[in-house]
Amino acid sequence: MTAATVNAPAESTAAKLLRVLLTQRIALLAVLIVIVVVTFFINDAGGYLTAPYDFDYMSASLINAIPLAMLGLAELLVILSGRGGIDLSVGAIVSLAGMGFGFAYGEWGWPLWLAILATAGFGALLGAVNGFLVSYIGFPALIATLATFYAYKSLAIVINNQEPISTEPIQELFSLSKSVELPLFGQYVPDVPLGIFTFLLPTAVAVWLLLARTSYGRRLYAIGTNDVAGRWAGLPVRDTRFKAYVYAGLISGLVAVVTVGQFASARPDAGVSGNGMALPAITIAVLGGVAITGGIGRVSGVVLATLLIVWLNAGILLAFVGNEGSQYQLLALGAVLVFAALLNGLTNRKYGGSQ
Amino acid sequence: MTAVAEAKIKKRVLPSPVTGQEFVLVGVLVLLWAALAVSTPAFLTAGSIQPLLVATAPVALVGVAMTIVIITGGIDVSVGGAIMVCSVLTAKALVGSEVSLGVAVLLSVAAGGLLGLVNGVLIAYGRVHAIIITFGTANLFMFLGLQIFGSGTVNGIPGTLAFFGRGPDGRTLGVPHAFLITLLITAAAWWYLRHTAGGRHFFAIGGDPQAARLAGVRVQRRVLLAYVLTGLLVGLASCFVIAQGTSTLDQSVGSGKELAVIAAVVIGGTSIMGGRGSVLGTLLGALLVQSVASGVTQLGWRSQLSDLFVGIFIIVAVGADLLRARARRNR
Amino acid sequence: MTDTNETPRLRLTAISKRFGAVRAIQHADFTVTAGRVHALVGENGAGKSTMIKIVAGAETADTGEIEFEGEQVKLGSTTAAIALGIATVYQEPQLFPELTVAENIFLGRELKKTGRVDWTAQNAKVVELLTLLGLPERYATAEVGTLSVAEQQQVSIAKALASDAKVLILDEPSAILTDAEIEVLFDVVRRLTAAGVAVIYISHRLDELFRIADEVTVMRDGRTIGTYPIKDLSVRQIAHLMVGEELSDARPHREVPEGPAVLELRGLSRAGKFRDVDVSVKAGEIVVLYGLVGSGVSEIAACVYGIDRSTDGQLLVNASRVDIKSPEHAQRLGIALLPANRKVEGMFGFQSIAFNISAGHLGLLSKFGVWVDRAREKAVALKLIERLAVKTPHERQPISAMSGGNAQKVVLARQLVERPKVLVLAEPTQGVDVGAKEEIHRLITELAEEGTAVLVVTSDLPEALRIADRIQVVRGGTTTVEFGPDASQVDLLAAAAGGSEPAGGTTKAAAAGGSEPAGTTKAAAAGGSE
């Protein structure tokens, strides 16, 4: 305390700027986004890209931000809850809940709103299994969600004999992922993917309200910061942690609906094929400044981290031909994550932590 | 000290070499194999057991190193990506310059060691949690692997590595070489962890790194070594992976292996919190997982159903351990 | 003084040490002899632990001389001290639960044979050590995690001895042990002295010194008051030396309003921790439970607050019997508690002051039980910041950036958001600067004036006398004697530390012990002349 106040006046503007960038993750991400976008605009102007990198393109690429940001928010909730909180099973929940949605809407002909509600509820139930194991039984989160990852993944594939569900109502859902013109001033700005408004924004706002405005959010930050102190302060520690996993499952259920819409099909491996959805989601959360030890992390960080990665990926796709693009996306993601992690380490040593 | 007294002490210088969890695993394996033998007579034949052992080898081998990493309190989720890099590099070398078996193995192991070194340096000296660093390097390794792949698959891999494969060249006296090597390395690691100061230090680091440092353990070097070791074994395991396949290697190689390896380690009784674990258990865990996979297909069920059992095994194995720990605390 | 002709094992002369502006030790002398047990006693903050750290090489003295076996030495690091044969056993055993006892003892300096650990040689050495300590051989191969706390402590002693210790420092070894376990410890210490080891024994329990120590050095306010053969002193006399001349704390007598007890403990017990605790607190009254570290006093607080469950006896709130199941339950009954370990049990580290105050009262500070009422939260936080005189620029300051005293005030503020009927404070001023201590004491009195029933659990002697209307002394896990606010520090300390002679308090058996306080013995006079 004394050292900080004494040093403050002597700190130069450059040193101050550096400190803000290192300690305020939001500021760092914003600067990185600007750098990325400007870089690609310049490349675009120079004619080095295979297609124009403009606002229309950036807007259209936001379709990829929907599942990524939503699952990043799900990870935000569980990682915040502390004690090594993490959820490896979100991708498997997307697969299994997606199949559930496929049956409800595509096969049994439930009304759309009911099917969506049921899918979200199903996801919450699957998350509750994680929460029960972690919070009430005392499993390390990594182990519990590794186990349910395998179990849900397996069930999703077995439940319909490895077949996707792509009946007519499901195929028509593709309209959910189209882009729309915004009302009032829409003609002046690019069209935006519909899912941003129907799924991502409501989720982001809901999670933000939950964390920043409700007493539940306070309790979650409290137990994530110090769950022993939480107990001595009379907080319902187990219940609070349990619910974080339930909410993560619920969000994963909503992502299942989005994914079914984007593929126009309920695919049994939707959330686990290739690299799966969990690892990128955790990456986004960590990049967004969520401390793996719990108690630190904000919605804005996760959203900005998603925008950074999505727009970086979109640009990379145009900078390389064919498969190369998707490969360089891996490089970018990995490099940014390692960079951010090392920066966290440095920040902790130099300034005693970041926000 | 008299010779008699010395002999008396010699008998019990260390705790039991096999843990309770391992006995249980052996029991479960025996029961499972018995049940499968009864339901599908073809199960207990060489034609069924040999592929089972070959398929177990890579996961068990990487599991040995992963066990050590987890004992130190770390984790490595980049082994899937590392397997991809090593196997595609080796496969390309086999196709392009037709290198010999020895050179191929050496190349693969060296490549793996290098990747492990990257992880090790970042984790031991960067002071960042292992899970975050290896999430990052997992992406970097996959990029590297895909770059080496270039476009599409690697085709026409010669049978140089058949020594490790499923075919008759891959067996001596009916025992697959890949499994035999895995067994030997597991035994060596078991001995190392149990009988050398360096091996014991891994446990101390996982228990309390600060106290270990004060006791004179070179913590950073040990941690670095654990990840380098992982890389080296990933290199060898990649040769097994190539040998198991057809003459074609596709881009999904290594995908999801990190979780399979961690599952084997956890089922084997190693604590994810560090400080406690056994490579023997990991071998048994890998064998159990592969036996279930093999059993599920032989019973004519969907192969993916085996993952459900993997999930259940993890819950039961770790759950039993949690209950034991709780009982010990309450005692 | 023990002036013998042989060279002392270790002699410290005119040692001084400052931490910033604080003089931790001033001109202290300390001599230990081979084969003897030297007790080092003093109140909290008297300088014992700094003294020990200097001997163990963990701190370096500013001035003064250290002689080891007659030769002047510098103890610049713990390794240097260990190399000389000075080994320390701290209260918290630094052991690896998953490794065997032999491994723990040899970690980092394993005996090797052709590249592998020479288990046989190590075990032979360990068995030798265990035999010396009178411990069973089977310990050698047992995993440390399977041993009891007492056994682990014995392992720590064995570990300290493995490097051929000539001086062994035992820091509060008996605090965590049961009576039977203390007997075993004493056996071990006697064997060591018989083997020629010099033992420095630090303890709060004065009675046990008479069974183990040969001489005792008393410290007070950073000075060594003197060294005496233990047989020349009594518990009371040692207590007197530790406390010194009592300053008459001119504290106005408070009138406690008559009324029924708000909180009452009747024979409350928790197996293995405490038993038969009887306390009652009226509205507006401040009752202190005074006990030494390890007396069970902090466990009593945890039980009243529902962190632990009692196993026997009754707990009454407003004369009705309750079975408190959890801290939430305690809060609903109007009981608030300030935890003893601020960092671990109290603070939400990197969160703001306002966050730290409102946590635990989110139900009250929210609209419809869902939304945090941030305006009210801020108002409440600002009000409490002002009332407790928390020094901070604004309520958004993270608590981890604050001094101990300020952080403690914030954690205390959390207990006052909803005015509690019963306020339990565990070690309210531990690690707090003098100014904040003063303010916290003033606040406690204020709260009582407003009608709160206050129960203070403390091991701080002056604090107990300063704020209490009544003092219950806890010793060996049970309430023993009750004192009024006029009791002397010597009486209290003697009662808590196990003085057998009757003191100026009322024992549980209601036998009034009015014998005159021992004050003017030779030793006490020596202490007072300082």
| Residue B261 domain flag | no
Domain tally for chain C? 3
Chains within contact range of chain B (3+ C-beta pairs < 8 Å):
A, C
C-alpha–C-alpha distance, residues B28 and B23, integer Å:
9
DSSP per-residue string spanning B48-88: HHHHHHHHHHHHHHHHHHHHHHHHTT---TTHHHHHHHHHH
Domain boundaries, chain A: 55-177+189-351
C-alpha–C-alpha distance, residues C238 and C188, integer Å:
25
A7-32: b (≥16 Cβ within 10 Å) or e: eeeeeeeeeeeeeebbbebbebbbeb
Contacts of A221 in chain C (CB under 8 A): 348, 351, 355
* CA separation, residue A135 to residues A227, A243, C192 (Å): 12, 9, 48
| Residue C515 domain flag | no
Contacts of C94 (CB under 8 A, 6+ apart): B208, B211, B214, C156
Are the beta carbons of B9 and C123 separated by less than 8 Å? Answer: yes
Are the beta carbons of C99 and B204 separated by less than 8 Å? Answer: yes
Domain that residue C109 falls in:
95-162
| Residue B328 domain flag | no
Contacts of C356 (CB under 8 A, 6+ apart): C347, C348, C399, C410, C411, C413, C414
CATH number reported for the structural domain that contains residue C474 in this entry: 3.40.50.300
Contacts of C98 (CB under 8 A, 6+ apart): B203, B206, B207, B275, B276, C143, C144, C145
Q: How far is B22 from chain C (nearest CA, A)?
A: 17
Measured between CB atoms, does B129 come within 8 Å of chain A? Answer: yes
Q: Which residues of chain A have a pLDDT value below 50?
A: 1-9
Question: Best interface-test mutation with A: which of B134, B139, B288 has the largest number of A CBs within 10 A?
Answer: B139
Are the beta carbons of C116 and B217 separated by less than 8 Å? Answer: no
- C475 and C380 in a single domain? The answer is yes
CATH class, domain A55-177+189-351, is mainly alpha
| Residue C405 domain flag | yes
- C307 and C383 in a single domain? The answer is yes
Q: HSE on the CB side for C156, CA within 13 Å?
A: 22
pLDDT for the residue B9: 44
C-alpha–C-alpha distance, residues C433 and C406, integer Å:
9
Measured between CB atoms, does B217 come within 8 Å of chain C? Answer: yes
Are the beta carbons of C350 and A353 separated by less than 8 Å? Answer: yes
| Residue C526 domain flag | no
Q: How far is A112 from chain B (nearest CA, A)?
A: 30
pLDDT for the residue B79: 95
C-alpha–C-alpha distance, residues C487 and C470, integer Å:
10
Are the beta carbons of C355 and A235 separated by less than 8 Å? Answer: no
Q: How far is C264 from chain A (nearest CA, A)?
A: 21
Residue pair B214/C94 in contact (Cβ under 8 Å)? The answer is yes
pLDDT for the residue B264: 95
Taking residue C79's Cβ as centre, other Cβ atoms within 10 Å add up to: 10
Contacts of C372 in chain A (CB under 8 A): 213-215, 217-218
Measured between CB atoms, does C97 come within 8 Å of chain B? Answer: yes
- pLDDT for C142-162, tens place per residue? 888 888 878 888 888 888 888
Are the beta carbons of C360 and A234 separated by less than 8 Å? Answer: yes
| Average confidence score pLDDT of chain A | 88
As beta bridge partners, residue C63 has C16
Taking residue A97's Cβ as centre, other Cβ atoms within 10 Å add up to: 35
| Residue C55 domain flag | yes
| Residue B226 domain flag | yes
- C180 and C297 in a single domain? The answer is no
C387-412 mean pLDDT? 89
Smallest Cβ–Cβ distance between C96 and the set B196, B204, B328 belongs to: B204
- C286 and C341 in a single domain? The answer is yes
- The whole-angstrom distance between residue B282's C-alpha and the CA centroid of its chain comes to 7
Residue pair C492/C483 in contact (Cβ under 8 Å)? The answer is yes
- pLDDT for C22-48, tens place per residue? 788 888 999 999 999 999 998 877 888
Structure tokens at A187: 């003609």
Measured between CB atoms, does C403 come within 8 Å of chain A? Answer: yes
Structure tokens at B48: 């069924």
* Beta strands B171-172; B175-176: pairing state: antiparallel
| Residue B234 domain flag | yes
| Residue B25 domain flag | no
DSSP per-residue string spanning B106-155: HHHHHHHHHHHHHHHHHHHHH---HHHHHHHHHHHHHHHHHHHH-SS-B-
Query: HEC states along A197-261?
Result: HHHHHHHHHHHHHHHHHEHHHHHHHHHHHCHHHHHHCCCCHHHHHHHHHHHHHHHHHHHHHHHHH
C-alpha–C-alpha distance, residues B284 and B67, integer Å:
12
| Residue B98 domain flag | yes
- C311 and C354 in a single domain? The answer is yes
Instruction: Return the closest-CA partner of residue A62 out of A163, A198, A160.
Output: A198
Chains within contact range of chain C (3+ C-beta pairs < 8 Å):
A, B
Residue pair A253/A270 in contact (Cβ under 8 Å)? The answer is no
C-alpha–C-alpha distance, residues C154 and C105, integer Å:
11
Contacts of C355 in chain A (CB under 8 A): 218, 221-222
**Owner of token pair 């539940």:** A216
Task: Provide the Cα torsion B239, B240, B242, B244; round to 10°.
Answer: 160
- C65 and C112 in a single domain? The answer is no
Chains within contact range of chain A (3+ C-beta pairs < 8 Å):
B, C
Contacts of B30 (CB under 8 A, 6+ apart): none
Domain tally for chain B? 1
Q: HSE on the CB side for A9, CA within 13 Å?
A: 2
Q: How far is B148 from chain C (nearest CA, A)?
A: 41
C70-94 mean pLDDT? 84
Amino acid identity, residue B211? Answer: A
What tens-digit pLDDT sequence spans chain B (331 residues)?
444 444 444 445 566 677 778 888 899 999 999 988 888 888 888 888 888 999 999 999 999 999 999 999 999 999 999 999 999 999 999 998 888 899 999 999 999 999 999 999 999 988 788 988 998 899 899 999 999 988 788 888 888 888 888 888 888 888 899 999 999 999 999 999 988 999 999 999 998 888 888 788 889 999 999 999 999 999 999 999 999 888 888 888 888 888 899 999 999 989 888 888 999 999 999 999 999 988 888 888 888 888 899 999 999 988 888 887 777 666 5
Instruction: Return the closest-CA partner of residue B134 out of A207, A27, A283, C300.
Output: A283
pLDDT for the residue A11: 67
C-alpha–C-alpha distance, residues A177 and A192, integer Å:
10
Of the listed ranges C174-183, C310-319, C371-380, the one predicted with least confidence: C174-183
B262 compared with C257, residue with greater pLDDT:
B262
- C291 and C209 in a single domain? The answer is no
Q: How far is C393 from chain A (nearest CA, A)?
A: 12
Domain that residue B148 falls in:
48-255+270-275
Model confidence, pTM: 0.87
Smallest Cβ–Cβ distance between A154 and the set B135, B304, B314 belongs to: B304
C-alpha–C-alpha distance, residues A310 and A336, integer Å:
13
Question: Best interface-test mutation with B: which of C117, C152, C163 has the largest number of B CBs within 10 A?
Answer: C117
Are the beta carbons of A226 and C347 separated by less than 8 Å? Answer: yes
Contacts of B254 in chain A (CB under 8 A): none
C-alpha–C-alpha distance, residues C148 and B55, integer Å:
45
DSSP per-residue string spanning C155-184: HHHHHHHTTT-SEEEEESTTTT--HHHHHH
Q: How far is C378 from chain A (nearest CA, A)?
A: 14
| Residue B40 domain flag | no
- C384 and C457 in a single domain? The answer is yes
Measured between CB atoms, does B273 come within 8 Å of chain A? Answer: yes
Instruction: Return the closest-CA partner of residue A199 out of A242, A149, A260, A153.
Output: A260
Measured between CB atoms, does B312 come within 8 Å of chain A? Answer: yes
- C322 and C438 in a single domain? The answer is yes
Measured between CB atoms, does C117 come within 8 Å of chain B? Answer: yes
C-alpha–C-alpha distance, residues A72 and A66, integer Å:
10
Measured between CB atoms, does B11 come within 8 Å of chain C? Answer: no
Contacts of C97 in chain B (CB under 8 A): 207, 275
How many beta-carbon contacts under 8 Å exist across B and C? 73
Are the beta carbons of B215 and C108 separated by less than 8 Å? Answer: yes
Contacts of A88 in chain B (CB under 8 A): 259
Question: Best interface-test mutation with C: which of A225, A227, A228, A237 has the largest number of C CBs within 10 A?
Answer: A225
With CA atoms as reference, the chain A residue closest to B256 would be A275
Instruction: Return the closest-CA partner of residue A229 out of C512, C415, C346.
Output: C346
C-alpha–C-alpha distance, residues C506 and B258, integer Å:
69
pLDDT for the residue C527: 35
Q: How far is A26 from chain C (nearest CA, A)?
A: 18
Measured between CB atoms, does B135 come within 8 Å of chain A? Answer: yes
Q: How far is C120 from chain B (nearest CA, A)?
A: 6
C-alpha–C-alpha distance, residues B141 and B147, integer Å:
10
| Residue B137 domain flag | yes
